[in-house]
Structure 1
Amino acid sequence: MNSPTTRRAFLATAATLGAAAAVSAAPALGATPPKLVHHVFFWLKNPDSKEDLAQLLAGIRGLAAIETVRGIHVGVPASTEKREVVDNSFSASEILYFDDVAGQNAYQVHPLHQKFVAECSHLWAKVIVYDALAV
């Protein structure tokens, strides 16, 4: 049945489910959003290697298990409009959310982070880090 009511109900349900999926993928910000964002960009030594990228992404995802990490976003360059201000030359990126500088400092020396560096650093040619504190 293709009645307007049925289509509207379907679209409303689809929109609600889509919004719920988007919210569930975002970091659990709670009442107090994390104060520090740790954004890391990686350039692979072998940028055409799907295996190297898969290994790097798996390693990055493992960092979510560190207790002080409040949220994580793992990504690759998006196919967005080419503009002078857009740099999509990187292979992968991570955004980690922390409550404070102390949480990010604890992350840096955590055994899981040290293991990630030991197991994946041979994959990348370059890394750039941007840490931003909420104001």
Structure 2
Amino acid sequence: MFTRRLLLALVMAFGLQFSSASAEDPQIVHMVYFSLKEPTKANKEAMVAGCKKYLKDIDGIVYFSSGIRGEAFARDINDKEFDVSLNIVFKNKAAHDKYSDHPKHLEFIKEFKDQMAKVRVFDSEVK
């Protein structure tokens, strides 16, 4: 009896969550992968610190993280052609667009652009 009630409660909760999410604008997942010209440990750590300093607290961000590529993840399927990742989820596209022109974002680019060998950006819509 308990299991049936729990299952019913979960189905109802997820059903309500999915139905309310479909009425909203999709969130934007913004994933950025930086390859550095000089990928020293100090440079990687400085870029992660810069991401946190300039980008973490911009309005419209639902989730933020930045880190150094995990060396332990070395399967054939793992992409190893980056040094630092930046992962942001925005409330919606409008928040993403404001971020793109935000002075702190532009300041981050100005400070770190000379250290970047390659930047790959992946944006997706999620509900």
Q: Say whether the fold is shared (TM-score over 0.5).
A: yes
Of 79, 83, 86, 2:71 maps to: 79
Distance, in Å, in 1 between the alignment partners of 2:73 and 2:37 is 25
- Aligned position for 1:66: 58
Distance, in Å, in 1 between the alignment partners of 2:50 and 2:71 is 23
Residue 54 of structure 1 deviates from its aligned partner by: 2.3
Distance 1:82 1:51, change over 3 A: closer
Q: How many residues align?
A: 104
TM-score for both structures, normalised by structure 2: 0.73
For residues 81-118 of structure 1, what are the alpha-carbon distances to aligned partners after superposition, in whole Å with 9 as ceiling and x for unaligned? 53222112211001001011111000000000000000
Q: Which residues of 2 match residues 7-46 of structure 1 at below 5 A?
A: 35-46=27-38
For residues 18-60 of structure 1, what are the alpha-carbon distances to aligned partners after superposition, in whole Å with 9 as ceiling and x for unaligned? xxxxxxxxxxxxx96x71110000000001x233222211111
List gaps (5 residues or longer) in structure 1.
Answer: 1-30
> Which has the higher relative contact order, 1 or 2, with Cα contacts under 8 A spaced 6 or more apart?
2
For residue 34 of structure 2, give the secondary structure of its aligned residue in structure 1. strand
Distance, in Å, in 1 between the alignment partners of 2:81 and 2:41 is 16
- Aligned position for 1:17: none
Distance 1:82 1:52, change over 3 A: closer
- Aligned position for 2:88: 96
For residue 120 of structure 1, give the secondary structure of its aligned residue in structure 2. helix
- Aligned position for 1:130: 122
The one-letter code sitting in structure 1 at the alignment partner of 2:44 is L
The one-letter code sitting in structure 2 at the alignment partner of 1:57 is V
The alignment-based identity, stated in percent, is: 30
The one-letter code sitting in structure 2 at the alignment partner of 1:42 is F
Distance, in Å, in 2 between the alignment partners of 1:58 and 1:81 is 22
User: Is 1:52 paired with 2:43?
Assistant: yes
